[in-house]
Structure 1
Amino acid sequence: MPFKNGTHSWDDLRLFLAVASEGGLANAVSRSGVSAPTLSRRISHLENTFSMILFDRHPGGVTLTPQGRELLEKVQQMDLHNQAIHSWRTRQDPRPLVRVTVGYWTSIYLTRNLDRLFTSAQSPRIELLSGSQFLNLSRREADIAIHNKQPDQQGLKRHRIGPVTFAIFGSPTYCTSHPQSYSEERYAACDWVIPSQSGATGGSSSWLRRKIGETARLVCDTPQAVLEAAAAGGGLCILPCFIGVNESRLVQVSDPLASLPHEQWLVTHENSSALPHVRHTANAIATLMKQQQVGIDTAN
């Protein structure tokens, strides 16, 4: 660990510690990994730097002078800090971290497709920050964001991913026992599972409330609970197609709802986007999100 202070360095002090601890140059060779002539030269250089004699030389080895003993106490403290730093560093993951802020359903989709984001052991680590409140890239609260509308802040790079569509889904058992699920009668004749006002993820929840009023069979405070309840046969729900189409426990009972699609944008700060690990992760997410659109088109 380089540690320079004026004209002396931690490397010289480390060698001083080895010689002082071993009581001589010969004994310090194996501990320091440096030859005896080199040790002698470096110790002399350190003494010249401090303008003081640190060791008394004699045929049996060396002994510390009073100034050398004082220095040894300080260097031993430095060595303890150095060991602590080394121990801390070895516990850190060498792979860089990329912070990604996304909406709830996008976070679900990304976690279900981790093998397509982590393509190798050297892939960057990801901290997924989901929720309706997106973090500020300009303040470096995150490195990558996926937005439902094009941001207009300065200093951001924007990449259009494509449209997100929504449809009505229910469990096969429920839809078989409620054939109205496949027609416009569904809004009045079927049971519904909806998110609460606080758990809503976007305009689709408001749209559905306008269609069914306050008649929902079940109101859930998280989007995941809505999905689970619908999959368990609790009623119909509205989902982004990239979630519903890929959920084996659900069937799609409507065409994509024409009034709800919106564009999806991948956003990075222009400074962060120059970092290889951020660029790699952004490209992987953009590719994955575009591929899910192809899958939805094929399914429908």
Structure 2
Amino acid sequence: MEHKAGDWRLIMGDSALCFSTMKNLDWNDLQSFLAVARGGGLTKAGAETGLSPATLGRRMLSLEEAVGRPLFHRSQTGYALTADGQSLLRRVLAMEASARPIAEWSGGKGQRPVVRISAGTWTANFFAENIFKLWSPDDPFRLAFKTTEAKLDIAHREIEIGIRNRAPDSPNLAARKTAVVAQAPFRARAHARPGEEEWLAIGREDAVTRSARWLNEQEDIQVAAWANTPRMLSDLIRAGVGKGILPCFAGDRDPLMERAGEPIEALEEGQWVVAHNDDRHRKEVRTVIDRITDLLTAHRALFAGERPLGME
């Protein structure tokens, strides 16, 4: 089914959760459980909560005893959730999301709500350059940007708005398509030997994006250096080490870079603004969604790779 830019696609589902089995659990223990689950172990959770690893370890054992099920696979490398742990995590995230409006309300009359936006490195960079098209100091809300190549959980309210490369298939999420994103190889504009560059790549263990995985699958290339983040990859390209794949809207805006080849058709993908169906009706969230959509659709040609630097 074709989805046009600006159209909302709603994915409905039954997201009801039963908390009857959790009524006797301590919320402090559940918050500690969240910290351990998010951090993958006791050390990071301790840094977040201020509790010692020993205390957190005892709390997790008590929690497992209370629910009557193992919640973690424990090893020297950390705490990994069991299937029951994953199930509890989904329920605690929903409880946390339900409690957030009360916490915001109790913060005081002058407290402005926060709209959290998740985007990849280059989309977040584009938003930063155009921040005053998304927000002004007079707005009755604030923005919180979460720059990550990973997908944060909108269904359980880790964020209000996510910029994604495909429409969601999770229950109760709505999506609006804004643009098509092209990817192309780029090199330093002052590269000493244009046309003879070796490749720069994101290492396999850090290859989260489609473009990073695609390049690692190519067998007939020579890699000069690896990076672990898109930003480091860009820095290496700009330094003249070699050529690497970037979204055209990122590389084409950089005066120190130029195209090292045509856009790679296999890497072309859509761009979606995604929100929880309930949250998108909140005034501040709806306002930010509309502004993001207007900004991205106004630059469709740039995102589609139709505006290389210097092109009239």
On the 8 A contact 2:190/2:256 being kept in 1, the answer is no
Distance (whole Å) between structure 2 residues aligned to residue 123 and residue 244 of structure 1? 34
Distance (whole Å) between structure 1 residues aligned to residue 124 and residue 219 of structure 2? 28
Q: Is 1:162 aligned with 2:179?
A: yes
Taking structure 1 as reference, are residues 89 and 155 closer, same or farther at Cα in structure 2, changes over 3 Å only?
Answer: closer
Task: State the one-letter code of the partner of 1:221.
Answer: N
Using the TM superposition, give the Cα deviation of residue 99 of structure 1 relative to its aligned residue in structure 2, in angstroms. 0.8
Taking structure 1 as reference, are residues 110 and 213 closer, same or farther at Cα in structure 2, changes over 3 Å only?
Answer: farther
Distance (whole Å) between structure 2 residues aligned to residue 114 and residue 198 of structure 1? 32
Taking structure 1 as reference, are residues 123 and 168 closer, same or farther at Cα in structure 2, changes over 3 Å only?
Answer: farther
On the 8 A contact 2:243/2:260 being kept in 1, the answer is no
Instruction: Write the deviation string for residues 19-59 of structure 1: whole angstroms up to 9, x where unpaired.
Output: xxxxxxxxxxxxxxxxxxxxxxxxxxxxxxxxxxxxxxxxx
Taking structure 1 as reference, are residues 130 and 113 closer, same or farther at Cα in structure 2, changes over 3 Å only?
Answer: same
Q: Is 1:223 aligned with 2:230?
A: yes
Larger radius of gyration: 1
Show the counterpart of 2:164.
Answer: 147
Show the counterpart of 2:193.
Answer: 178
Show the counterpart of 2:45.
Answer: none
Unaligned runs of 5+ in 1: 1-87, 181-188
Q: Secondary structure at the match of 1:173?
A: coil
Distance (whole Å) between structure 1 residues aligned to residue 134 and residue 165 of structure 2? 21
**TM-score of the two chains, using structure 1 as the length reference:** 0.61
On the 8 A contact 2:204/2:216 being kept in 1, the answer is no
Show the counterpart of 1:271.
Answer: 278
Show the counterpart of 1:255.
Answer: 262
Q: Cα RMSD over matched residues?
A: 2.3
On the 8 A contact 1:167/1:255 being kept in 2, the answer is yes
Q: Is 1:135 aligned with 2:155?
A: no
Tell me the number of residue pairs that the alignment of Structure 1 and Structure 2 aligns.
Answer: 202
On the 8 A contact 1:163/1:262 being kept in 2, the answer is yes
Show the counterpart of 2:29.
Answer: none
Between 1:128-137 and 1:219-228, the stretch displaced more is 128-137
Q: Secondary structure at the match of 2:299?
A: helix
On the 8 A contact 1:95/1:122 being kept in 2, the answer is no
Between 1:201-210 and 1:145-154, the stretch displaced more is 201-210
Distance (whole Å) between structure 1 residues aligned to residue 122 and residue 239 of structure 2? 19
Q: Secondary structure at the match of 2:158?
A: coil
Using the TM superposition, give the Cα deviation of residue 115 of structure 1 relative to its aligned residue in structure 2, in angstroms. 2.5
On the 8 A contact 2:164/2:273 being kept in 1, the answer is yes
Instruction: Write the deviation string for residues 258-290 of structure 1: whole angstroms up to 9, x where unpaired.
Output: 111011111111111111110111111122222
Distance (whole Å) between structure 2 residues aligned to residue 298 and residue 220 of structure 1? 27
Distance (whole Å) between structure 1 residues aligned to residue 193 and residue 219 of structure 2? 17
Taking structure 1 as reference, are residues 252 and 153 closer, same or farther at Cα in structure 2, changes over 3 Å only?
Answer: same
Q: Is 1:243 aligned with 2:253?
A: no
On the 8 A contact 2:187/2:259 being kept in 1, the answer is yes
Show the counterpart of 2:306.
Answer: 297
Using the TM superposition, give the Cα deviation of residue 139 of structure 1 relative to its aligned residue in structure 2, in angstroms. 1.2
Distance (whole Å) between structure 2 residues aligned to residue 201 and residue 161 of structure 1? 22
On the 8 A contact 1:104/1:201 being kept in 2, the answer is no
Taking structure 1 as reference, are residues 200 and 104 closer, same or farther at Cα in structure 2, changes over 3 Å only?
Answer: farther
Show the counterpart of 2:8.
Answer: none
On the 8 A contact 1:148/1:264 being kept in 2, the answer is yes
More helix by share: 1
Q: Is 1:207 aligned with 2:224?
A: no
Taking structure 1 as reference, are residues 128 and 162 closer, same or farther at Cα in structure 2, changes over 3 Å only?
Answer: same
Task: State the one-letter code of the partner of 1:286.
Answer: T
